[in-house]
């Protein structure tokens, strides 16, 4: 048994369930570096029990009409809003985000839950009257059954809500395996869903590591799985899910570029890059990590403007109302980022600001790294090619728009990209030609609104369907097509009943 007094349990069948595996993982306070709790790690048997509970509850939930399911979601949204401060402080305490940033995390998830309340309309099928003689054809969208989500540490509210809200709205039961690094908010969300009227078993939360993940992937009951995390694990989950016939949408790493044209408003660009590059300590899959100024004069002006702003960043406790960002999530994350800073220096990049030497106002022992700014970063460097996931911004200089388009287009990752310009033709040309899944024009973090779809290309995404928007409804349902004909009764004098036909039916 764990020696830590606080042990975060699972949530199965509408109640907190203590773990029985006798395996635990530490949950840190990133601002101090101290262990604040432990989380129980589920065994395969515990995951299987949660899946069985969900499978038992799902048919009755699917039988409810979509309007009644939407009303539960509406109440769920209301309860999350009522508990916003509580949830944000809880999220901040385990992840290290500032409280305002934590509220943003929750709000972006809420927007998808609000979208999912429109499920009565979103589930409507198609109908063709008189497609053939006396024949009508119509389709209906039906839930898959039990589905699962495996979600990351960096958005412990947003990503779970992105996945569970559409899935539940469509009539599925949902197994959530959140990150073991910050598991308390997902647990609390499950409790609020139950309070909103969601039947027990429709949302089960199992904490765990690879053993729990593999139990989900190997289960024949689970029909679909969604994942957000690193690219190697995204590919692993996608391939293993296919072996058991599951649908999968798996989103991996990123290296998001921001192209700065010579005509861009430099003050606006610097504001955008400071927020998009260093917000949440860079632990965002949509963070800007490479800025590409077009022209040497543009690059010189940009670096000169960025340097004092990076040096002036206030890195402090996530509860500090004046903090620009807080600590990284774990000691390993801090070590990883600092190692990449040294790699960049060793590779020959110019360390305009070295975050290892920066001033941090946080408590001793916290997982803090100040902002780092590199210049003259080339595409053969590891700090350009690999995802650092920290407060590190690299400047890669080019001379032409074509070169600027080539950098993100030829990168292994293809999540998002942004361009800053005052020229509409340049922006349109860039948006059409660049090879990434999401594009921002004078928008540094182009995360679409909830009723559009979110997803990257290349090694940033595996699967045909993306997150939220109409794609989420398609992913969590399957289409049944009905072709019907109602012949006249045999007693009718106009009946045209004939003999058997051995020719394939057509609609002539």
DSSP label of 504:
P
Whole-angstrom Cα distance, residue 147 to residue 55?
A: 10
Quick one: which of 73, 54, 41 has its CA closest to 13? 54
Catalytic residue among 112, 285, 287, 438: 285
Distances, alpha carbon 241 to alpha carbons 39, 55, 245, 353, in Å: 26, 19, 6, 43
Ranges for all domains in the chain classified under CATH 3.40.605.10 = 7-252+460-481
Length of the chain equals: 508
| pLDDT, tens digit (0-9, with 9 covering 90-100), for 227-236 | 999 999 999 9
125-127-128 Cα angle (round to 5): 155
Place of tokens 């290349």: 458
Q: How far apart are the first and last CA of the chain?
A: 72
* 205 confidence band (pLDDT: 50, 70, 90): very high
145 pLDDT more than 90: yes
Residue in the structure block whose two tokens are 């385990």: 94
Q: Rounded to whole angstroms, how far apart are CA atoms 27 and 190?
A: 19
What is the predicted pLDDT for the residue at 3?
Answer: 52
CA angle, 37 as apex, 36 and 38 as ends, to 5°? 145
Closest CA relative to residue 169, chosen from 12, 13, 62, 78: 62
In the numeric block, which tokens belong to residue 226? 């969604």
Do β-strands 135-143 and 477-485 pair in parallel, antiparallel, or remain unpaired?
antiparallel
For the sheet with 477-485, list strands across it.
127-132, 135-143, 477-485
The owner of tokens 């060793």 is 346
CATH 3.40.309.10 range(s) for the chain read: 256-441
> Do strands 203-205 and 173-177 pair parallel, antiparallel, or not at all (unpaired)?
parallel
Note the CATH architecture for domain 7-252+460-481. 3-Layer(aba) Sandwich (3.40)
pLDDT digits (tens, 9 = 90+) for 291-313: 999 999 999 999 999 999 999 99
What's the pLDDT band for 1 if we cut at 50, 70, 90? Answer: very low
3-state helix vs strand vs coil in the chain, percent to 5:
40, 20, 40
Pairing assessment for the beta strands 372-375 and 350-353 based on DSSP bridges: antiparallel
> What is the model's pTM?
0.93
The full DSSP string for 117-131 is TTHHHHT---EEEEE
Instruction: Please report the pLDDT score of residue 372 as a whole number.
Output: 97
Residue 222 CA to residue 363 CA, distance in Å, equals 44
Q: At which residue do the structure tokens 């012949």 appear? A: 487
Hey, what CATH topology would domain 256-441 get? Answer: Aldehyde Dehydrogenase; Chain A, domain 2 (3.40.309)
| Residue 285 among the catalytic residues | yes
């Amino acid at each position: 048994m764990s020696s830590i007094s606080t042990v975060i349990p699972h949530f199965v069948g509408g109640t907190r369930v203590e773990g029985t595996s006798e395996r635990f993982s530490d949950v840190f306070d990133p601002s101090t570096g101290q262990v604040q709790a432990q989380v129980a790690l589920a065994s395969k048997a515990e995951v299987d029990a949660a899946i069985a509970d969900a499978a038992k509850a799902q048919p009755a939930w699917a039988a409810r009409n979509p309007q009644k399911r939407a009303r539960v979601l509406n109440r769920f949204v209301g309860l999350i809003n009522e508990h916003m401060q509580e949830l944000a402080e809880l999220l901040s305490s385990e992840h290290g985000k500032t409280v305002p940033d934590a509220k943003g995390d929750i709000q972006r998830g809420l927007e998808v839950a609000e979208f999912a309340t429109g499920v009565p309309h979103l589930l409507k099928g198609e109908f063709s009257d008189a497609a053939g003689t006396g024949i009508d054809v119509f389709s209906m969208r039906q839930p898959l059954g039990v589905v699962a989500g495996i979600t990351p540490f960096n958005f412990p509210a947003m990503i779970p809500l992105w996945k569970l809200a559409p899935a539940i709205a469509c009539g599925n039961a949902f197994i959530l395996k959140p990150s073991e690094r910050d598991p308390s908010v997902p647990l609390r969300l499950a409790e609020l869903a139950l309070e909103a009227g969601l039947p027990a078993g429709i949302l089960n939360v199992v904490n765990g590591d690879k053993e729990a993940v593999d139990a989900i992937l190997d289960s024949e009951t689970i029909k679909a799985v969604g994942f957000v995390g690193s690219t190697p694990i995204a590919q692993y989950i996608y391939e293993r899910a296919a072996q058991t016939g599951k649908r999968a949408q798996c989103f991996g790493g990123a290296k998001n570029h921001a192209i700065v044209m010579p005509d861009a408003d430099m003050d606006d660009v610097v504001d955008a890059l400071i927020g998009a590059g260093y917000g949440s300590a860079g632990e965002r899959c949509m963070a800007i990590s490479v800025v590409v100024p077009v022209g040497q004069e543009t690059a010189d002006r940009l670096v000169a403007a960025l340097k004092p702003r990076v040096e002036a960043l206030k890195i402090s406790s996530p509860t500090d109302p004046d903090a620009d960002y807080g600590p990284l999530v774990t000691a390993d994350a801090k070590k990883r980022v600092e190692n990449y800073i040294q790699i960049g220096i060793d590779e020959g990049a110019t360390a305009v600001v070295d975050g290892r030497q920066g001033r941090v106002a946080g408590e001793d022992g916290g997982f803090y790294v100040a902002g780092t700014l590199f210049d003259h970063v080339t595409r053969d460097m590891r700090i350009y090619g690999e995802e650092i996931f920290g407060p590190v911004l690299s400047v890669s200089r080019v001379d032409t728009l074509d070169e600027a388009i080539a950098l993100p287009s030829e990168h292994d990752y293809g999540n998002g990209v942004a361009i800053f310009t005052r020229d509409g033709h340049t922006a349109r040309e860039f948006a059409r030609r660049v090879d990434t899944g999401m594009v921002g024009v004078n928008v540094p973090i182009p995360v679409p609104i909830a009723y559009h779809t979110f997803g990257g290309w290349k090694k940033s995404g595996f699967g045909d369907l993306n997150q939220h928007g109409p794609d989420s409804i398609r992913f969590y349902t399957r289409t049944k097509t009905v072709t019907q004909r109602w012949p006249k009764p045999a007693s009718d004098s106009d009946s045209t009943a004939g003999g058997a036909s051995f020719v394939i039916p057509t609609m002539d």
